Amino acid sequence: MINGENKISRPLRWGMVGGGRTGQVGYKHRTGALRDKTYDLVAGAFDIDAERGRDFGVNLGVDSNRCYPDFQTMFAEEANLNEGIEVVSIATPNGTHYEITMAALHAGLHVICEKPLVFTTKEAVEIKQLAEEKGLIVGVTYGFSGNIMLLQMRAMIEQGKIGDIHLVDLQYTHGYAATGDGDKKNAAQKWRVDPKIAGPSFVLGDLSTHTYYMSQLIMPEMKIKKLLCDRQSFVGSRYPLEDNAYVLMHYENGAVGRMWTSAVDAGCMDGQRIRIVGSKASLEWWDSKPNELRYELQGEPIQTLVRGTEYLDDLTSEYERLGTLHQEGLSDAWANIYLRIAIAIDAKKRGDEEILDKLIYPDIDAGIAGVQWIENCVRSADNGSVWVEYETEESVHA
The binding site for ligand NAI (CB under 6 A) comprises 17-20, 22-25, 45, 47-48, 70-71, 91-94, 96, 114-115, 141, 143, 187-188, 206
Q: Is 103 helix (H, G, I), strand (E, B) or coil?
A: helix
Q: How far from chain centre, in Å, is Cα 240?
A: 24
CB of 64 to ligand NAI, least distance (A): 17
221 burial (CB, 10 Å; 0-12 / 13-18 / 19+) is exposed
Indicate the residue among 94 and 317 with the shorter CB distance to ligand NAI.
Answer: 94
CB of 279 to ligand NAI, least distance (A): 33
Indicate the residue among 40 and 70 with the shorter CB distance to ligand NAI.
Answer: 70
Indicate the residue among 27 and 239 with the shorter CB distance to ligand NAI.
Answer: 27
Indicate the residue among 22 and 179 with the shorter CB distance to ligand NAI.
Answer: 22
CB of 255 to ligand NAI, least distance (A): 27
What whole-number distance in Å separates Cα of residue 325 and Cα of residue 110?
Answer: 37
CB of 68 to ligand NAI, least distance (A): 9
Whether 136 contacts 348, CB under 8 Å: yes
CB of 223 to ligand NAI, least distance (A): 24
Instruction: Give the relative orientation of helices 149-158 and 209-218 as an angle to the nearest 10 degrees.
Output: 40
> What are the residues whose beta carbons fall under 8 Å from the beta carbon of 198, sequence distance 6 or more?
93, 94, 95, 191, 192, 205, 206, 241
Q: Could you give the count of Cα atoms lying within 13 Å of 389 in the half-sphere of its Cβ?
A: 6
CB of 240 to ligand NAI, least distance (A): 18
> What are the residues whose beta carbons fall under 8 Å from the beta carbon of 318, sequence distance 6 or more?
1
Whether 214 contacts 169, CB under 8 Å: no
Indicate the residue among 25 and 256 with the shorter CB distance to ligand NAI.
Answer: 25
